[in-house]
Amino acid sequence: MRNECFMRFERLAEDGRARRGRLHFPRGTVETPAFMPVGTAATVKAMKPETVRKTGADIILGNTYHLMLRPGAERVAKLGGLHKFMNWDRPILTDSGGYQVMSLSDLRKLTEKGVEFRSHIDGSKHMLTPERSMEIQRLLGSDIVMAFDECPRADRPRDEIAASMEMSMRWAKRSREGFNAGGEHAERSALFGIQQGALDEDLRKISADKLADIGFDGYAIGGLAVGEGQEAMFATLDFAPAQLPQDRPRYLMGVGKPDDLVGAVERGVDMFDCVLPSRSGRNGQAFTWSGPMNLRNARFAEDADPLDNRCTCDTCNTYSRAYLHHLVKSQEILGAMLMTEHNIAFYQQLMQAMRDAIANGDFAHFADSFRRDYLATR
C-alpha cells in the first residue's frame, strides 16, 4: 500500500470536537472546515470559475457519473484534464459516481463486480466498477479521488444495510488497488474512503476499522443527508467522526443547510459539499445570517435593502432586494447568477467565521449565537 501522499493535513487548532486545519496540495491549500461548491458537470451552475474563487472557495467538487456520460472522461483527458477544461486551477474533489448511479440511472443491476446501468441522458448502457471509477477520476485528473461505494437508504432492514456496507468495504479495497495502479496521478493526488452503516453505531465502527486497515488519505462519512432528518444525522455524527482516524480529514458528503454545517463542525467534521446553495439560488432562495429568505415573496418588491447587511459579497454590495425580487419573478438569468453568487459567498463566510471561532477557542459561543439568529424566523 502507498504510504505517502502529496496531500498533507495540518491540524491547527481544536475547540471541543471542532477542528481548524489546512489541507496542502500542489495546486494550493484548502482551509478547513471547508465547504466545496458543487460543480457536477464541470461547472458550478450559473457561476464563472473566477467568481467561485472570489467568494472564498478553495476547492470544488466534480462528479464521475455526470462527466463519464457527458462529455466523457476520455475526452476531458484529451483536452488536458478537468482543471484546464473548466478553467479552475485549484484542487478538485471528484465523487465516485456511486450515489448518482443508485439515484439517477435506470434499470440498475447491482453485483459484486459493480453496477450496470442505463444513462438518464440517452438510455445507453454502462458498467461502473471500483476500477473503472478510479480510471475515470484519473482521466479527469482530480486532486481528491473518492472510493466507489453503494449508499443504501437508512430505512432499509439492518441485515441489508450490513451486507451493503460489507460490499462497499470490498469495493473500497478494490478502489485502493485501482488507485495505486494509477502511476503519476496516484503520486500527486489523494484517495478518500467512505464510511457506511446508515444510522447504526456498530456497523459504522466495523466500516471505519476496515477502511483504516486498508489505509486512506482521508475519510468520508457517507450514507447521511438521504432523508433521515437532522436529528438522526446529528445523533450519528455524535459517534461517527470519532470512529475515524484522528490525523486525517473527515468529509461529510452531501451536507447541507447552514445549521447542518455548524452542528457537524461542532461534532468534528472538516469538509462538506452540497448543491443546496446553488440550487436554492436558482430558485429564488437566499441564505442569510438571519435565516433563509424567499425572494419570490411580494414583501420584497419595494425593499431597497441588500439581501444581508452582514454579507460582503458583490450581490449584497451592489443590488437591492427589490431588484433581486424583480429578477427572480421575471425568471431572468441574472437573478439566478446573483442569487447563487450570494449563497456560495455566504457559505464561505460562514466557514471562515467557524474557522476563526475555533482558532479563538470561542466556537460554542459562536454556534449558539449563530443558531439564535439563523433560526429566529422559523
Burial class (CB in 10 A: 0-12, 13-18, 19+), 3: exposed
C-alpha cell, 190: 489523494
Contact 186, 180 (CB under 8 A): yes
Per-residue CA distances from 8 to 4, 31, 217 (Å): 9, 12, 9
From the list 15, 95, 143, 270, the catalytic residue is 95
207 residue type, one letter? S
Assign 147 to helix, strand or coil: coil
From the list 15, 200, 273, 308, the catalytic residue is 273
Phi (first) and psi of residue 320, to 5 degrees:
-90, 160
Q: Is 314 a catalytic residue?
A: no
Q: Is 247 a catalytic residue?
A: no
* Those residues with Cβ within 8 angstroms of residue 360's Cβ, 6 or more apart along the chain or in another chain: none
Helix runs in the chain, H state only: 49-54, 64-69, 73-78, 82-86, 98-104, 130-140, 158-180, 184-187, 201-214, 230-237, 258-266, 276-282, 314-318, 321-329, 333-359, 363-374
220 residue type, one letter? A
Give the dihedral sign, CA 140/71/58/363.
Answer: negative
C-alpha cell, 39: 460543480
Crossing angle of the two packed helices 333-359 and 363-374, in degrees rounded to 10: 150
Q: What is the DSSP string of 287-316?
A: EETTEEEETTSGGGTT--S-S-TT--SHHH
Cα angle: 79, vertex 82, 84; to 5 degrees: 65
Contact 101, 67 (CB under 8 A): no
Assign 47 to helix, strand or coil: coil
Residue positions annotated with a catalytic role: 95, 273
